[in-house]
Amino acid sequence: MKSPPLERFIELYGHMPTEFDKRYLELVAMGRYRILDVPDVQPGSCCNCGASRNDGRKYVDTGRHVEWYGAIFICGLCMREYADALGLLETVKQELASVKSLLLSQEDLKFMGERIRDTITQTYEEFKEYYANLSATGVDLTPDTTIKLEPDSSAAVKPAIDETESGVTEPPTSTRRTNIPSLADLRKLGTI
């Protein structure tokens, strides 16, 4: 929606217009544009190319009248030529290209997100099937809660291993699990 001429003037120039400010009067005059299918006031034709027929192009009534000529109309085709000559169309084309690339990148991200979602869903279904198969074969899936995390105080203190015999020393205070044998214990037993 267009802002009223006074607001546009303040926005452009940063102050209120004076009583007979030409720049403000120009903004007021610019607010008189009308877009028509065919010119409705004499001379009733584009001031540039002279077209006046209803062939799909639009006509801009500038709100200006020239003595001995009449109303000034500009057709849409001539406006396009003016915009192209001023470089306005290049600006629009660049903005459209940047928006198009942004939309394409968003579509790529959406596609990648859908692929990731499908992969996660498929993995979840495979996990459910694997878990169901494990349950069907009779494998106990409950976690083992019998593991002791604290050393047993009632256990006898183990003698230190002779360093010349195994080459491994045991730390003086150990907080390791007591139900899992160490490499030194396995060597004593002769399993490795």
pLDDT in tens, 81-128: 888 888 888 888 888 999 999 999 998 899 999 999 999 999 998 888
CA proximity to 69, closest of 49, 44, 52: 44
Task: Give the tens place of pLDDT for each residue, 141-179.
Answer: 666 666 665 665 555 555 555 545 555 555 555 555 556
Total count of residues recorded for the chain: 192
117 domain residue, yes or no: yes
Is residue 19 domain-shared with residue 46, that is, in the same domain?
A: no
Judged by average pLDDT, the poorest of 51-55, 85-89, 188-192 is: 188-192
93 domain residue, yes or no: no
Q: State the Cα torsion 182-187-189-192 to the nearest 10°.
A: 100
Is residue 42 domain-shared with residue 18, that is, in the same domain?
A: no
Residue located via tokens 């878990």: 131
Is residue 79 domain-shared with residue 56, that is, in the same domain?
A: yes
Is residue 26 domain-shared with residue 64, that is, in the same domain?
A: no
> 81: left (phi > 0), else alpha (psi -120 to 50), else beta?
alpha
- Residue 99 confidence (pLDDT): 92
- Sheet of strand 59-66, all strands in order from the earlier edge strand to the far edge: 34-36, 59-66, 70-75
Is residue 46 domain-shared with residue 82, that is, in the same domain?
A: yes
> 190: left (phi > 0), else alpha (psi -120 to 50), else beta?
left
6 domain residue, yes or no: yes
Report the alpha-carbon distance of residue 183 to residue 177 in Å, rounded.
Answer: 13
94 domain residue, yes or no: no
Can you give the residue range of the structural domain that contains 14? Answer: 1-31
Residue range 25-39: average pLDDT?
70
Is residue 63 domain-shared with residue 80, that is, in the same domain?
A: yes
Number of domains in the chain: 3
Is residue 77 domain-shared with residue 56, that is, in the same domain?
A: yes
HSE of 105 in the Cβ direction (CA atoms, 13 Å)? 6
